[in-house]
Copies of this chain bind each other. A is one copy, B any other.
């Protein structure tokens, strides 16, 4: 995956791009701004600019935005990043990675029908982990 050639290569966008490239996990906008500031030679990238860069990347189909029930913050990753799905406990919010993907391992790039170009997908399984089930049973039968 490379920086889209029809987008202006500005300092901010290149920095955001670099941070996403270096990260093995999806990041929030805030985390990206944080990392940009940590490098701290130069001046970092303002949060709104991070959002605008991410928006441009998403439109260009090179970045995926994901919203989990887990948190109100969106997660961003390069589209190429191997995708993962999680089982999320609705009580303690712990996340366990799922083995495999229900769509199979051909990653993205199938079509729903001939008209819809698929960029990616989100799969989340939610429920309750063992520990929380125990706790909740105790509390509720009082």
Contact = CB atoms under 8 A, between A and B. Distances in A.
Interface of A: 6, 58-59, 61, 64-69, 87, 89-91, 96, 98, 102-103, 112-113, 115-130, 133, 136, 140-141
Copy number in the complex reads 2
* Chain A interface mostly: mixed
Contact of A96 (B102, B116, B123): B116
A103 B127 CA distance: 15
Contact of A123 (B91, B115, B121): B121
B102 A116 contact: no
A127 B122 contact: no
Given A87-B118, A122-B122, 7 more contacts: A59-B91, A67-B69, A96-B112, A115-B130, A117-B128, A118-B125, A119-B127
A64 to B, nearest CB: 8
